Chain A
Amino acid sequence: MASRKKSLLKVIILGDSSVGKTSLMNQYVNKRFSNQYKATIGADFCTKEVVVNDRVVTMQIWDTAGQERFQSLGVAFYRGADCCVLVYDVTAPNSFKNLDSWRDEFLIQASPRDPEHFPFVVLGNKVDLDNRQVSTRRAQQWCQSKNDIPYYETSAKEGINVEMAFQIIAKNALELEAEAEVINDFPDQITLGPQSNRPSNPDNCQC
């Protein structure tokens, strides 16, 4: 069973500009952090081998441009994503408010099979800073309202929670895939039973 699964996980990181998407990826993949800000142009990806559930999989992490002026290109790479990471800056309330639109846009462009249960992960970055503006409770409440999205607080600078968060991301992405495979094995599911075969309301009978 395990050998039949594909071994590439596609993860997309989204969020406003300068929330630390590139830094998170760099911290996770290269264990490096730079204080200098350099806006990402277009999109780029890094790969990293991870072990999840005793399996080696390659994680393809797509880093995107948060700045609107660099969004002159399309986002066809959303298609086929296995997990989406939404990042906001705990010191910038606007970046938190915009998570909603990032999530909506992603679901529309990626059009996953089951949008309601697509695995998202929310990361509140820059917890090492003192001037925090978005409380943990507020973020958790939002995540709960969106079908219990896992929420973590990270610091790309100090490396806090980064490794752990990406491990969860990989795990969640793999779970989606497992589900998808079940569906693939039985493309036309027929459930036998009186409730599904017949209209529940006899008035609706089209005979």
Chain B
Amino acid sequence: MSWRDSITSIPGAVAHILNESANTLLSHSSALSGATVGSAFSGGSGSGSDAGGSEEGAPQGQYRGLPIPASLVREQWRLIFTSDANIQDLQAAIAHCRDLVLLSEELSEERRWLVRHLVDLRYSLQQLEEAQEQQSLSSDIVVMNAIRAVVGHHFVPHHPHHGKRSRLQAAARRNYCDHCTAIIWSVVQASYVCSDCGYLVHQKCIDSVKRVCAHVLVSERQYPVAEICPEIGLAAQGYKCAECGTLLNLKNSWIEPRLCDYSGLYFCPRCHWNDSNFIPARIIHNWDFSPRRVSRTSLQEIRLFLNKPLIRLEEDNPKLFVFVEKLCAVKKLRQNLVHMRHYLAACKLASDQKLVDQQLGGRRHLAQSNEFYSLSDLVQVDTGALTEFLQAVFKVFDDHIRSCHMCLAQAYICEICSNNEVIFPFDDGCIKCDQCNSIYHRVCLTRKNMICPKCTRIQERRLQLDRMKSTEEEDEDEEATDDGVAIAF
């Protein structure tokens, strides 16, 4: 197991601090849980032997969580449990884990792991409590409700018939186990699905799952792979599958190495099913939406990135806005929506109607700024769906603003021509001064050689204040107080 590898390299950065604090806690928590502490911990601390060292001698007693950070290895005996732990053990571990979270450094690897582990521990506790409840009712019923946490996945029972119109339809769509790749015969075989990444697995395979949950990867990575297929080559991978470590050999025709275009790594056919998907980096750099073959884990990862507004397209690829016309239109529409959102946010009527929420729902980022795009936004720019969507939103917002007396009251009036026509920042033919946010008719400002009259005033005013300040100082020297200021005005 990979976490055991980390035992060999204890840097002990945070470890000794944690250890010190844990020692003080030790007496406290052991008093709480009493004699039960230490009866069912997996493996001796740092012994390096495989799991199953508990006194009860449960053969399958294995830790199935995410790899523990090296600095926390010394704590593992108090944090990690096997499936044969009892409720008190788990409660003690939860308390200890919570204390460690508070002691750990903010944004550190340790804290991230501890928080995830705390969640997993609580799931395990829930599972255990439910199991006991069930047992007290009747011992025959198989427990299938609790969430099971394995290598970052949160597995819930999978019921393919739920929400489907008929059993026939459900049967028509075959489900395959992400671990053993065999069909899941849903009528006779129980299966689990990860509520975070959608990993589907037989009940019998659940304890041997190797792939770390894509949701964990996504939150670690924070941003989709930015380089186009960053291939390192089979040799650098040690001729092994990047996921399960199966030996890959070009001569062995049974196990062909398959390249994942997203991660640039080679996988065995069990971990790479030749699924095709668009590649984020190819969209950002090449505006290329053609599907490429990706591994299972990459597919799940891309799916999880799909709706996250993370991509600063203009920063990554400014030239794109020059020659992709659709993108230009979307950018302008979004800028207009940002202006409109200012009005709607300040308008009581619009907030009562929840106009922004109702129109944009989960895609609020579209009107928050015009910088960030999600992958699905980019796909929709290409198909034209986003332009249509934004135009519809624009129309609804525009209708409100032009009919609402509060919004109209906060319109602008072009001070250059000073006629009574109200103008808005999102109107065609209007221009905004980037410095003072004033809005003018484009023609009017052009007439004034693009020099904003308000900015000129602000500058004059500043000069005047400076002059006033200097005269004030002089007056103070002359010990004249109020008169000097009055003259300055």
Residues of A within 8 A of B (CB): 41-44, 71-77, 79, 97, 100-101, 104-105, 108-109, 111, 135, 137-138, 141-142, 145
Partner of B345, one of A41, A76, A138: A41
- Please give me the 8 A-B residue pairs with the lowest Cβ-Cβ distance, nearest first: A42-B346, A74-B412, A77-B409, A141-B486, A73-B410, A76-B411, A138-B482, A74-B411
Tell whether, in the assembled complex, residue A138 and residue B346 are in contact, meaning their CB atoms are under 8 Å apart: no
CB closest chain-A residue, reference B419: A111
15 contacting pairs across A/B (C-beta < 8 A): A42-B410, A73-B342, A74-B411, A75-B410, A76-B409, A76-B411, A76-B412, A76-B413, A79-B420, A101-B457, A135-B482, A141-B485, A141-B486, A141-B489, A142-B489
CB closest chain-A residue, reference B465: A97
Tell whether, in the assembled complex, residue A72 and residue B439 are in contact, meaning their CB atoms are under 8 Å apart: no
Tell whether, in the assembled complex, residue B457 and residue A74 are in contact, meaning their CB atoms are under 8 Å apart: no
Tell whether, in the assembled complex, residue B461 and residue A100 are in contact, meaning their CB atoms are under 8 Å apart: yes
Tell whether, in the assembled complex, residue A104 and residue B457 are in contact, meaning their CB atoms are under 8 Å apart: yes
Tell whether, in the assembled complex, residue A145 and residue B486 are in contact, meaning their CB atoms are under 8 Å apart: yes
Quick one: which of B415, B458, B465, B485 has the most chain A CB within 10 A? B485
Quick one: which of B343, B347, B411, B489 has the most chain A CB within 10 A? B489
Judge if B232 is at the interface, Cβ distance under 8 Å: no
For the complex, give the distance between the alpha carbons of A97 and B488 in Å. Answer: 11
Tell whether, in the assembled complex, residue A71 and residue B437 are in contact, meaning their CB atoms are under 8 Å apart: yes
Tell whether, in the assembled complex, residue A74 and residue B346 are in contact, meaning their CB atoms are under 8 Å apart: no
Do A72 and B437 contact each other (CB < 8 Å), given the known contacts A79-B420, A135-B482?
yes
* B290-343 interface with A by 8 A CB criterion: 342-343
The 8 A CB mask of B432-469 against A (1 = contact, 0 = none) is 00000101000000000000001001100100010010
Do A145 and B345 contact each other (CB < 8 Å), given the known contacts A75-B410, A76-B412, A137-B482?
no
For the complex, give the distance between the alpha carbons of A194 and B314 in Å. Answer: 71
Judge if B422 is at the interface, Cβ distance under 8 Å: yes
Quick one: which of A76, A97, A104, A111 has the most chain B CB within 10 A? A76
For the complex, give the distance between the alpha carbons of A142 and B409 in Å. Answer: 31
| Chain B contact residues: helix, strand, loop or mixed | helix
CB closest chain-B residue, reference A40: B346
Contact partners of A97 in chain B: CB under 8 A: 465, 468
Contact partners of B345 in chain A: CB under 8 A: 41
Contact partners of A76 in chain B: CB under 8 A: 408-413, 422
Q: Count the A-B residue pairs with Cβ separation under 8 angstroms: how many?
A: 70
Contact partners of B342 in chain A: CB under 8 A: 72-73
Judge if B252 is at the interface, Cβ distance under 8 Å: no
Chain B, interface residues (CB within 8 Å), range? 20 to 34
For the complex, give the distance between the alpha carbons of A138 and B409 in Å. Answer: 35
Contact partners of A108 in chain B: CB under 8 A: 415, 457
Tell whether, in the assembled complex, residue B482 and residue A74 are in contact, meaning their CB atoms are under 8 Å apart: no
The minimal Cβ–Cβ distance linking A140 to chain B, given in whole angstroms, is 9
The minimal Cβ–Cβ distance linking B414 to chain A, given in whole angstroms, is 10
The minimal Cβ–Cβ distance linking B220 to chain A, given in whole angstroms, is 35
Do A77 and B410 contact each other (CB < 8 Å), given the known contacts A41-B346, A109-B415, A111-B418?
yes
Partner of B482, one of A42, A111, A141: A141
Contact partners of B424 in chain A: CB under 8 A: 74
Contact partners of B347 in chain A: CB under 8 A: 42
Contact partners of A104 in chain B: CB under 8 A: 457, 461
Do A79 and B486 contact each other (CB < 8 Å), given the known contacts A41-B346, A104-B457, A111-B418?
no
Tell whether, in the assembled complex, residue A73 and residue B482 are in contact, meaning their CB atoms are under 8 Å apart: no
Contact partners of A141 in chain B: CB under 8 A: 482, 485-486, 489
Tell whether, in the assembled complex, residue B489 and residue A145 are in contact, meaning their CB atoms are under 8 Å apart: yes
Quick one: which of A42, A44, A75, A100 has the most chain B CB within 10 A? A42
Given contacts A42-B347, A97-B465, 18 further A-B contacts (CB under 8 A): A44-B348, A44-B406, A73-B342, A74-B413, A74-B422, A74-B423, A74-B424, A75-B412, A76-B413, A79-B420, A100-B489, A101-B457, A101-B461, A104-B461, A105-B454, A105-B457, A138-B482, A138-B486
CB closest chain-B residue, reference A108: B415
Tell whether, in the assembled complex, residue B410 and residue A43 are in contact, meaning their CB atoms are under 8 Å apart: yes
CB closest chain-A residue, reference B346: A42
The minimal Cβ–Cβ distance linking B258 to chain A, given in whole angstroms, is 53
The minimal Cβ–Cβ distance linking A6 to chain B, given in whole angstroms, is 17
Contact partners of A74 in chain B: CB under 8 A: 410-413, 422-424, 439
For the complex, give the distance between the alpha carbons of A43 and B468 in Å. Answer: 32
CB closest chain-B residue, reference A111: B418
CB closest chain-A residue, reference B410: A73
Quick one: which of A71, A73, A100 has the most chain B CB within 10 A? A73
Contact partners of A41 in chain B: CB under 8 A: 345-346
The 8 A CB mask of B92-109 against A (1 = contact, 0 = none) is 000000000000000000
For the complex, give the distance between the alpha carbons of A75 and B406 in Å. Answer: 11
Contact partners of A138 in chain B: CB under 8 A: 482, 485-486
CB closest chain-A residue, reference B345: A41
The minimal Cβ–Cβ distance linking A133 to chain B, given in whole angstroms, is 12
Tell whether, in the assembled complex, residue B482 and residue A43 are in contact, meaning their CB atoms are under 8 Å apart: no
For the complex, give the distance between the alpha carbons of A111 and B419 in Å. Answer: 10
CB closest chain-A residue, reference B347: A42
CB closest chain-B residue, reference A41: B346
Partner of B343, one of A73, A77, A137, A145: A73
The 8 A CB mask of B160-196 against A (1 = contact, 0 = none) is 0000000000000000000000000000000000000
For the complex, give the distance between the alpha carbons of A135 and B483 in Å. Answer: 11
Contact partners of A43 in chain B: CB under 8 A: 346, 406, 409-410
Contact partners of B348 in chain A: CB under 8 A: 44
Contact partners of B346 in chain A: CB under 8 A: 41-43, 73
Contact partners of B408 in chain A: CB under 8 A: 76
Contact partners of A75 in chain B: CB under 8 A: 410, 412-413
CB closest chain-B residue, reference A145: B489
For the complex, give the distance between the alpha carbons of A41 and B411 in Å. Answer: 15
